[in-house]
A and B are shown apart, each in its own frame.
Chain A
Amino acid sequence: MTETDLDTIPRITPGYRLQWEAVQDCHVLLYPEGMVQLNGPAGAILEQVDGRRTLAEVISTLEQAFGEDDLSADVLEFVSEAQERGWIRFG
């Protein structure tokens, strides 16, 4: 993925599930026989990855929610890592 692909739609990889776990006090990503505990920003970003919003919309939603001017660098960095780990896919 390149940084110009802001119009593509990220989605959680089929078979993965994002879920808030009260006991662990964090979002987790569940997948076959495994679980990743997510930190606050990672959980907040993945919550916006709903398979409908484009990457640009995900970024602007987060900027509004957190009252920040420009979160694109942070989001793109995480999204690229999440894609590499197989957590999300595009298109």
Chain B
Amino acid sequence: MARIPPPLWLLAEVTHSCPLQCPYCSNPLTLIRKQEELDTEGWLKVLHEARKLGAAQLGFSGGEPLVRKDLSTLVGAARQLGYYTNLITSGVGMDAERVAELHAQGLDHIQISFQSDSQALNDYIAGCESFEQKKAMARAVKAQGYPMVLCFVIHRLNIDHVAAMLELAAELEADYVELATTQYEGWALLNRDQLLPSRQQVQAAEAVAHHYQEKFRGRMKIYFVVPDYYEGRPKPCVDGWGRVFLAVAPDGVALPCHAARDLPGLEFANVRDHSLEWIWYESPAFNAFRGTGWMKEPCASCDQREKDYGGCRCQAFKLTGDARNTDPTCSLSPLHQVVTEAAQQAEQSSRSAPDRPLVFRNRRNSPKVNTIP
């Protein structure tokens, strides 16, 4: 195998605690409890070791990272180490004072999530009153002079509101907007029948996004990615397993992707027991899907294998039962029909009222759902 490249991106998932209850939560099915979290010293060690390995981009994420009382300390240390520091937040738990305090510590950028364009839909999906708070925090972020990304996670219930979301983003003076497709690998898979948009909805939203890309050119950058369910091509998940991206879970378990923990048969090492250098370069789990040697057909002989890396291992496992299979969103997958059937199902169910309610995510119901039915 070619020389293993260094990690360039560190995602520090400092907590799984979160005031929101989004039905597409991307945290693993089993949430890490507060008492299992790394302490301040533990995180400082992670920041130091990952920077030494080469990581330059750092995302503080969660859960809601603002829940951590030592966040400013960690941000300050990270900035000193030379990271570009990104805070990925719901905006809940922040106030103008904290925004200023983080700025003083050298925080480079804040990304705020919105669940939709209106208070009613935003607060319904978030499972809590948060819309007005988010708007206030977006204004506070801009007032401090930060660059600001607004992230809208898109699904059937809000995809028809993309124009209004982009108008809201412009009003709040966002520098970038991500219209992020819901990924159906974890909790969202429970709610896929209610959340997966229809093909027509996706096409309409794409046209709207393109219109606004032109309208706001030079002022606000808009990213819209067509859901992999409708692309026929798999996404190059985390830019390749163990290639660029390193995530550390709240309890110190290091992962090639924040969702990978749900994959069976892999033992992910903890930063309490091993150096990040060993974990990145030597540990069996980080080498399990590195490069192309692990691939089965049709990936193994495919000319796209160095571009999409066979797609997402979690999606391959959740939808086909084997993480080594081609991601079934790829039209070349022999099991591609599991995706086309889900899309057809979405088409049908988008025309009628849902036959079961959304399962929102919180600590009370999480222990009950350890496997996808």
Residues of A within 8 A of B (CB): 14-15, 17, 19, 21, 23-24, 28, 30-35, 86
Contacts and interface: CB of A to CB of B under 8 A. Distances in A.
Contact of A21 (B56, B108, B109): B56
A14 B145 contact: yes
Contacts of A34: 57
B145 A33 contact: no
A15 B146 contact: yes
Interface of B: 6, 8, 53-54, 56-57, 59, 82, 84, 86, 108-109, 111, 145-147, 149, 175-176, 221
B53 A23 contact: yes
A32 B147 CA distance: 7
Contact of B109 (A28, A33, A86): A33
A21 B84 contact: no
A32 B86 CA distance: 7
Contacts of B145: 14
B149 A32 contact: yes
Contacts of A28: 56
B108 A15 contact: yes
B147 A15 contact: yes
Contacts of B149: 32-33
Nearest to A22: B54
B54 A21 contact: yes
B6 A23 contact: yes
Contacts of A86: 221
Given A15-B146, A15-B175, A30 B54 contact: no
B157 to A, nearest CB: 26
Contact of A15 (B53, B56, B57, B109): B109
A14 B221 CA distance: 15
A17 B84 CA distance: 8
Given A30-B84, A32-B175, A17 B6 contact: no
Contacts of B176: 32
Contacts of A14: 145, 147
Given A24-B56, A32-B176, 4 more contacts: A15-B147, A30-B84, A31-B84, A32-B108
Contacts of B6: 23-24
B111 A33 contact: yes
A15 B109 CA distance: 7
Contact of A31 (B8, B53, B111, B147): B147
B148 to A, nearest CB: 8
Contacts of B221: 86
Contacts of A15: 108-109, 146-147, 175
B56 A19 contact: yes
A86 B219 CA distance: 10
A35 B84 CA distance: 9
Nearest to A24: B54
Nearest to A29: B84
A21 B54 CA distance: 8
A15 B287 CA distance: 35
A87 to B, nearest CB: 13
A64 B54 CA distance: 32
28 contacts: A14-B147, A15-B146, A17-B84, A19-B56, A19-B82, A23-B6, A23-B54, A24-B6, A24-B54, A28-B56, A30-B56, A30-B57, A31-B84, A32-B109, A32-B111, A32-B147, A32-B149, A32-B176, A33-B57, A33-B59, A33-B109, A33-B111, A33-B149, A34-B57, A35-B8, A35-B56, A35-B84, A86-B221
B280 to A, nearest CB: 12
A91 to B, nearest CB: 15
A24 B82 CA distance: 14
